[in-house]
Structure 1
Amino acid sequence: MSWQTYVDSNLVGTGKISRAAILGQQGGVWAASSGYNLAADEQAFLTKVHANPESAQANGIRAAGEKYMCIRADDRSVYGKKGSSGIIVVKTKQGILVAEYVDPTQPGEATKIVEELADYLIGVGF
């Protein structure tokens, strides 16, 4: 399966994720939903945030021009919120899943989708 299929079917295709991307841990966008453009500095931050989760807690999370308040950050998962919208950034063995959701999707619904895809990818070596 291509990386784009994971974004289109397993994330955005669920109807719970509004925009998503998969980044390589070494940099670069492997796949992204249509119109979801992460600036180079945003990509750099998102690929390094798990090594220094305190940076997200102190500065928030920026993606596609939006800034989210960090509500949780550790060496695997970083969650952010902005009003009734949010962002989930999860590290796998080789990639970084970035997914945004909007109202009426609840944070737990979106988190479950992204974390389960991350578990699957980790299980198959990615």
Structure 2
Amino acid sequence: MSWQAYVDSQLLATKKVTKAAIHGHDGNVWATSAGFSVNNTEMATLIAAFKDPSGIRANGLRIGSVKYIALRADDRSIYGKSGSSGVVCVKTKQTILIGTYDDPIQPGEATKVVENLADFLINSAY
């Protein structure tokens, strides 16, 4: 399966994720949904936050030009909230999955979809 197929069929097709992207640990885009872009600065901040989340805990996190308040941040998962929208970022062995959601999607619904794909990729050595 191509990386774009994971974005399209495993994330967006669930209707529990509004926009999604898969990046490598170097920040390069592997696949993304139409009209969704995470710039280099945002990606660098996200990558650094998996090692030391203190910066995003204090200042929030920007993804796709939207500022999110960090709700959870550890070496695997970073969750953020912006009004009735949110972001779920999960690091696997080789990738960083990013999924956003908007009202009426519940945070737990989006989180489950992104985390499940991450588990699958980790078990597949990605």
The two structures share one fold, judged by TM-score above 0.5: yes
What do the CA deviations read for 1:80-100 (whole angstroms, capped 9, x no partner)? 001111000100000100110
Distance 1:47 1:28 in 2: 11
Q: Which residue of 1 aligns with 2:12?
A: 12
Secondary structure at 2:31 match in 1: strand
Q: Which residue of 1 aligns with 2:65?
A: 65
Q: Which residue of 1 aligns with 2:44?
A: 44
Distance 1:21 1:83 in 2: 21
The reply to whether residue 29 of structure 1 matches residue 58 of structure 2 is no
Percentage of pairs with the same residue: 54
Q: Which deviates more, 41-50 or 25-34?
A: 41-50
Shift of 1:58: 1.1
- Could you tell me which amino acid in structure 2 is paired with residue 46 of structure 1? L
With structure 2 as the length reference, what TM-score do the two structures score?
A: 0.97
- Could you tell me which amino acid in structure 1 is paired with residue 80 of structure 2? G
List, as ranges, runs of 4+ consecutive aligned residues in structure 1 with deviation greater than 2 Å.
Answer: none
Q: Which residue of 2 aligns with 1:89?
A: 89
Shift of 1:48: 2.3
Q: How large is the Cα RMSD of the aligned pairs?
A: 0.8
* 8 Å CA contact retained: 1:80, 1:87: yes
Could you list the runs of 5+ residues in structure 2 that have no partner in the other structure? Answer: none
With structure 1 as the length reference, what TM-score do the two structures score?
A: 0.97
* 8 Å CA contact retained: 1:23, 1:47: no
Secondary structure at 1:115 match in 2: helix
Alignment length, in residue pairs? Answer: 126
- Could you tell me which amino acid in structure 1 is paired with residue 3 of structure 2? W
Q: Which residue of 1 aligns with 2:114?
A: 114
- Could you tell me which amino acid in structure 1 is paired with residue 82 of structure 2? K
Distance 1:26 1:63 in 2: 16
Could you list the runs of 5+ residues in structure 1 that have no partner in the other structure? Answer: none
Q: Which residue of 2 aligns with 1:77?
A: 77
